[in-house]
Structure 1
């Protein structure tokens, strides 16, 4: 087979395989998929980060902290109803990821909370975040910045 044919045969794998591989992460038994955030208004001081964590191992782990250069403070948060009022608060002790389970951080539930943003998050960009797990350790990921008000990631 000529080099050109070999290249053309491999091209679909390169075009369709790289985007997924470039935006998913693995640390220990944990797989982190589709990290994303929303663009923010020019005057916004807060933002949220979202992703999916799957524990392929046999022991539980915990997302206990997050850090990012995009804001002065980052916390692991949850939103839940308290009677008829939606409340948001930092999760005490982090978010457990049981063995064999998938935990999704999404709008209206668990999420990463960026407080005191240093600059607006611009659509099309990326926001670097370090996730800290109790057992697996720390991993640097990039959150794709989706449109202002996006309900979910488009990738």
Structure 2
């Protein structure tokens, strides 16, 4: 019985590594960049991740780019005076020392406008995204395209 359990665990291990991917640049640690699979009629797609700043100094995410689009932007959701949620572009995003910066549905996110290679935006694929930080420099991550949001973000899904 134990031998059978070990075989099953060994077979499942590569699948765990296939979805968990993390990157480090200086004091910054970027965890699991992901995006939802692009529906056929959607003109844009969003990308999400978490930046852990393990340092004692603030950093700033200045911009992003990707070879699958000529226009990738930093966005946030804000509540209007009328109480509605509205998406807006931001010039940069602070990454406070010792804190986490969360890019998630209904929060900060990367908008990839009019992607040119839609074939990379299907479930199971990955595409490159370069994050340009003020202190840590440039970090290129691979964004995992998924059919649904990770379990910890299931309740926050939205489309553009």
TM-score (ref. length: structure 2): 0.79
Stretch of structure 1 that moved more, 19-28 or 78-87: 19-28
Compared with structure 1, are the counterparts of its residues 142 and 86 closer, same or farther at alpha carbon in structure 2 (3 Å cutoff)? same
Shift of 1:21: 9.7
Aligned to 1:89: 88
Q: CA deviation at 1:69?
A: 1.2
**Pairing of 1:115-134 with structure 2 (within 5 A):** 115-120=113-118, 121-134=121-134
Native 8 Å contact 2:43 2:114 kept in 1: yes
The unaligned stretches of length 5 or more in structure 2 are 1-5, 153-160
CA deviation after TM superposition for structure 1 residue 103, in Å: 1.0
Q: CA RMSD in A?
A: 2.4
Between Structure 1 and Structure 2, how many residues are aligned?
141
- The alignment status of 1:113 with 2:111, answered yes or no, reads yes
* Structure 1, unpaired ranges of 5+: 1-7
Asked if residue 49 in structure 1 is aligned to residue 47 in structure 2, the reply is yes
Corresponding residue SS for 2:85 = strand
The alpha carbon displacement at 1:55 in A equals 0.4
Q: 1:109, 1:78 → 2: CA distance?
A: 5
1:66 equivalent to 2:59? Answer no
Determine if contact 1:34/1:153 at 8 Å carries over to the other structure. no
Query: Does the 8 A contact of 1:61 with 1:98 survive in 2?
Result: yes
Instruction: Identify, as 1 or 2, the structure richer in strand.
Output: 1
Q: 1:44–1:117: 8 Å Cα contact kept in structure 2?
A: no
